[in-house]
A and B are shown apart, each in its own frame.
Chain A
Amino acid sequence: MEDLFEFQNVCYRYPGHKQLALQDVNVRLPEGEKIAVVGRNGAGKSTLFLHCNGLYRPLCGQVLFRGRPLAYDRASLKRLRQQVGMIFQNPDNQLFSASVAQDISFGPLNLGLSEAETRRRVLEAAEMCDIIHVLDRPTHSLSGGEKTRVALAGVLAMQPEVLVADEPLASLDPWMRLTFFEILQRFYDRGKTIIMATHNLSVVRYWASYVIVLQAGRVVFSGTPKELLTNRVVLEQTELSRVWWKVDPGFDEETRAPATSPGAEDGRLKETRNFHFGEDGDWSI
């Protein structure tokens, strides 16, 4: 499996701050996976994401995209940003126009697409995200979840290779979450990669095929969810063991390992999948 992104000794500091927001990050993000990024508030998830399409430039080290170091000149950035679509934590900061349709059309037009093609993509993306009915409402009259969906449509309309979503679930209702995961699944089925920061451990447990754990600006784990569950050192160090049983009732806190055998676990995995996404108000930490 090829690496989509590779971070090599990346560190980053916000101007005017002493503390490093990312320090010595070494991690590979494999292509064609559903990658969940977890970590406590302020661990550096958003900062990491902003490196993925060249919005932030590492203070030291480098970021590789498909094996090549990122170049920060205009043309390279433009190519990169077409392939890497971003949804930000707060959709209000992402929507610039009072017209929903205009906002969605912004990305495709920047790609140099024709008006007709852009119009087609706007409609397609809007339909996918179920926002056809708000297309000619002003942005400021939308609810938080509707804004998130508009932001998602604005990115999908660019048809990126990778979707980088910073905590997109927060303002979506349980029904919309299901829809959201269906959209993601369709995206994923076309062989594309999804990278999602989340505070929702059931997403890590049941959705992700790859997990990155951040702690205080460092990547302390990367691997499959199963590997994470059996890695006692990391579970303890990040205190994930303290919260994990909430999403995984079979998780044995004493032994810090899933109690069920892999076979039995897969059976339960299927039947609980939707349930967890539907009602995770309880589960998210």
Chain B
Amino acid sequence: MQLIERYAYHNRLRKVQPDHKAAIALLGLLLCLALDKPVVSLTCIAWMFVLVVFIAGVPARTFGHVLLVEGGFILMTIPGILIGIGPSAPSDPAAWAWPLGPVWISTSSAALWRGVALVMRALGCAAAMNFLALTTPSVDIIELLRRWRMPPVLIDIMTVTYRSIFVLLESANTMYIAQDSRLGYMTSRMRAIHNVALLASQLFIEAYRRGKELQIALESRGFTGELHVLPTSYRFSPLFTVLGVVMTAQLILLWAMV
């Protein structure tokens, strides 16, 4: 998360209007879902790779790393599709099957193909969302949702939650260092577990206290139930409109031809 945050703030597309970036990401996502062919998904990943690595200037390693992690999660859901388990051998003659005790474990080339297609499709969608995540800080995304008329309550909750994550991470880190510097984690394993428990319970109290103090501070600046903030201004980027059109056209063409 820290890694993604870092590039979100320091990439060449940082100042491009978030609307455009979000539109590209959503377009990629929708096209991958609608045009369900591996070739479309692969092309979508390629598009996102070019956008993230060459245009935004995020290292290819980072793009790959994030996608790989997501790929790991996706793969975990695949066995259910690839492998069938039944009381008898499958009727399909093209299937491969092995007896394992009382049950039959089977798979087929069709199932394999379905699995591959599914993985590709999920990866295509993930890549599209990664493009947004790696080029747009959460602040901008929240801001975007505000302009897209998401209910203000949700926006305010997101704003404060997001900020609180970092405040609490910092407290947790400080507490951990304080414990560690007094040798809290150098003695027995049991002690260490005990210390983590202490830290967690303290963090609860801390979160509660900070919440109250934040409320007080907000009220002192005239808070009346809604967090009004200035919208950020961005430059309009015709490049992204063109990119969006070209990408859509190419993906649809590919889908129709292959």
Contact = CB atoms under 8 A, between A and B. Distances in A.
Contacts of B170: 92, 140
A139 B220 contact: no
A99 interface: yes
Interface in A157-188: 158
B166 A98 contact: yes
Interface residues of A, number: 41
Given A55-B216, A106-B229, A110-B224, A96 B160 contact: yes
Contacts of B143: 99, 102
A201 to B, nearest CB: 27
A110 B223 contact: yes
Contacts of A36: none
Interface in A38-56: 50, 53, 55
A94 B217 contact: yes
B16 to A, nearest CB: 14
A219 to B, nearest CB: 22
A193 interface: no
A118 interface: yes
A96 B159 CA distance: 7
A129 to B, nearest CB: 16
A138 B229 contact: no
A115 interface: yes
Interface residues of B, number: 31
A109 interface: yes
Interface in A92-141: 92-99, 101-103, 105-107, 109-111, 115, 118-119, 122, 137-140
B9 A107 contact: no
Contacts, number: 107
Interface in B1-26: 5, 9
Nearest to B217: A94
Interface string B220-250: 1111100111111000000000000000000
Given A98-B162, A107-B221, A110-B222, A88 B230 contact: no
B97 to A, nearest CB: 55
A99 to B, nearest CB: 4
A94 B139 contact: no
Interface of A: 50, 53, 55, 74, 77-78, 81-82, 84-86, 88, 90, 92-99, 101-103, 105-107, 109-111, 115, 118-119, 122, 137-140, 154-155, 158
10 contacts: A55-B219, A55-B220, A78-B224, A92-B210, A96-B160, A97-B163, A107-B222, A110-B224, A138-B166, A139-B163
